[in-house]
Each structure stands twice: as C-alpha cells, then as structure tokens.
A = this chain, B = another copy of it.
Amino acid sequence: MEFIREIVSQIKGVSEDIRGDVQSRLNNLTKPLGSLGKLEDTAKRVACALNDPKAVVRGKAVIVFASDHGITAEGVSLYPKDVTAQMVYNFLSGGAGINVLARHVGADVFIVDIGVDTDFVDSPGLLNRKISKGTNNMLLEPAMSAKEAASAIKAGYDIAADLISEGYNVIGLGEMGIGNTTAASAVTAAITGLPPMDVTGRGTGIDDASLQHKAGIIENVLHLHRPVANDGLDLLQKVGGFELGGIAGAVLACAAGGAVAVIDGFISTAGAAIAYLIAPESGDYMIPSHNSVEVGHNKLLEFMGLLPVLDLGLRLGEGTGAALCMNIIEASSKILNEMATFESAGVSEAEK
C-alpha cells in the first residue's frame, strides 16, 4: 500500500485565502448578498479545489466504472447480472442516459471495465482495467482480496490522473454494476453505524419483500466480516466493489491534482467516502452533485459534511447527476467572472 501513502502525502487542504477572495468578489456583484444561494457555495468550493480564485472550468470528463458483484447470486436486484455488460455496450454506442447528459453539458465520457463478468470483444473506446470478473459473494467471503482493493484504487487513480494531465479539471464519477447498491448500503451501514434497513433502498426498483431480504443480507454480511468503520481499505475489501475502489482512487487523484471531483449518487458517494476515510482533505475537492432517492445516500453526505447541489429524484447512477451538476458548476464559475460589480455598473448598494 506504499503508493496509497504516497498519494495521501500529496493531498493538501484547500486555501482559505482563496475562499475569502471569492466571497469578497461575490459580495461585490450586483445582487443582494448571498442571493444566488448554492451557486455561490459552488463557486467557492470549485475555486478552492482548483486553487484558482477565478474557478475556471477547463475541461469536463465523466468516468464510468463498470463492475459485477458476487452478491447478485442472493437475488438482491430486479435486473439480471448480464445487464452490467449489456449497459457497457450501450455506453460505448452512446445510447445510455450518461451519454445523452454528458453530451448535453459538453463533457467527455470514459468507460472503464474494472471488473465486469464478460470478455469484451471489439470494443474500441473501452478502457480495460479488469481486476477480476466481478467480486466474490460477500455473504460467503470478503468481496475481494486486499491486493485487489489496492489495485482498484490504483486503476481509478491512474485514469483520473491521466485525464488531469490532459487538462480536464472537472471530473464526474459514475458507475454501472448490477448489485452495487447492496455494496454501497453495506459500506454506509458500516461507516455510519446505522441499521442496514435505514440505509438500504430499492436500487433499480425492488418491492417491499425484496427490500427486507436485501437489508437482511447486508446485516449478515456485516456480521460475518465486521469491517472497520473508519478504515476505507478494509471496508472496500470486505463489503465493497471494484467500481467503488476505482471511484475512491479517482477522487484521490482529483484531490492530489487540484481538480474537482463531481460525485454522483449513492454508489459514487460510497466510493468517495472510502477516499474520505483514506484522506479526509479529499472532501474539499468533492462537489456532491445531487441528492439521490436511495435512503443511504444522504447519510453518507452528512457523514462527510456535504450538501448536495441538485435534488431531482434521480436514482439512475452512471454519473447522470454529476453531468447535470456540471452545468451548475459552470454557471457558478461564470457568475464569478462575468457579472458586473455595484461599482462597475453604477448600482447603489444596500442602505443602512
């Protein structure tokens, strides 16, 4: 795990001076104090993460980590496991939700096979970083080995670091993996100490009986492995998933490289929480894009002290909420740079 220690040593807290500069600028713009709400908060966060008081967005990417989960053998999802691979093909041909929304906001999409249970053939555009053909069934054994957990983080780190070196500075983190809300709920229950039923949702749309079943499985999984609540690597290995590891690594790369990590929904946030446990300063580089319908999502955001930007009732994943949020991120940056000040526009300030 030497490389993880090395990454962590590169991650610095953000500059309070920049936050103050941006706040001053916002206060001088021709609008009542604070009246652009979350746009102003976002401008400050983005400026700090980029270490740039102008918060200039130079390039937008969405990385979609796809992986399979052994726990699907226990009937936790409404969709067959094959859908993970089928959706990868859909991503590659541009027909999935994330393709449409990323095009809409002008973001480039990068699809990563980090552990899909298929041999993809003739798939230009697919980044092959397969750790294994899906995780183990964590009801029977740890989801992955310690070595695999580290490799997943390394894979995500390297991909995001490469994108940053190519000039992308706003990076959305999405995923695809049938069964992965079960892993995310297990991670969330372990981190927060809440009962599995309080952090387990309907995923792709299971009914009440299946929801009970899913929460019961998670309870058994946690009882079996007893993951350490504040140890990101232990959580990832015992009850995580390869895409969670990839996302954690990519978040660490953003924090180390001074880019914005745009977190998507529940699974993306579970990956981000693993990064947060490894390096708490990484939280300053995250923009939590939206508040998912999945009940565990908000608990994780609260744990990291993050307020979601959008609340659109989304529960698709893939990075779709992150893509939509990029539009708000760019809007916040433009507010900062393009609005007139009271002085420049000759507008009177508040009385008293």
Chain A residues near B (Cβ < 8 Å): 29-39, 78-80, 82-83, 86-87, 89-90, 93, 95-97, 99-101, 103-104, 203-205, 293, 309-316, 320, 324, 327-328, 330-331, 334-335, 338-340, 344-352
Contact = CB atoms under 8 A, between A and B. Distances in A.
Contacts of A32: 78-79, 203-205, 315-316
Contacts of A38: 312-314
List 9 A-B pairs, minimum CB-CB distance, nearest first: A37-B313, A95-B340, A32-B204, A35-B316, A86-B347, A38-B312, A90-B345, A100-B338, A78-B350
Given A86-B346, A93-B340, A340-B96, A351 B78 contact: yes
A335 B97 contact: yes
Nearest to A335: B100
A101 B39 CA distance: 11
Nearest to A309: B312
Contacts of A330: 104
A36 B314 contact: yes
A327 B34 CA distance: 22
A205 B90 contact: no
A200 to B, nearest CB: 16
A123 to B, nearest CB: 14
A78 B38 CA distance: 22
Name, among A37, A311, A348, A351, the residue most crowded by chain B CB atoms within 10 Å (CB to CB): A37
A93 B339 contact: no
Contacts of A311: 311
A344 B90 CA distance: 9
B35 A350 contact: no
A345 B314 CA distance: 22
Given A314-B35, A314-B37, A83 B347 contact: yes
A30 B97 contact: yes
A256 B80 CA distance: 47
A101 B316 CA distance: 27
A259 to B, nearest CB: 21
Contacts of A80: 348, 351
Contact of A345 (B95, B334, B335): B95
Contact of A347 (B90, B313, B350): B90
Name, among A35, A328, A335, A344, the residue most crowded by chain B CB atoms within 10 Å (CB to CB): A35
Contacts of A335: 97, 100-101
B37 A315 contact: yes
B350 A95 contact: no
A331 to B, nearest CB: 5
Contact of A339 (B96, B339, B350): B96
Contacts of A331: 100-101, 104, 324
Contacts of A82: 348
A56 to B, nearest CB: 14
Contact of A90 (B30, B34, B100): B30
A94 B79 CA distance: 50
18 contacts: A30-B96, A30-B97, A32-B79, A32-B205, A34-B205, A35-B316, A36-B312, A36-B314, A37-B314, A78-B350, A78-B352, A83-B347, A86-B346, A86-B347, A90-B345, A100-B331, A324-B327, A324-B331
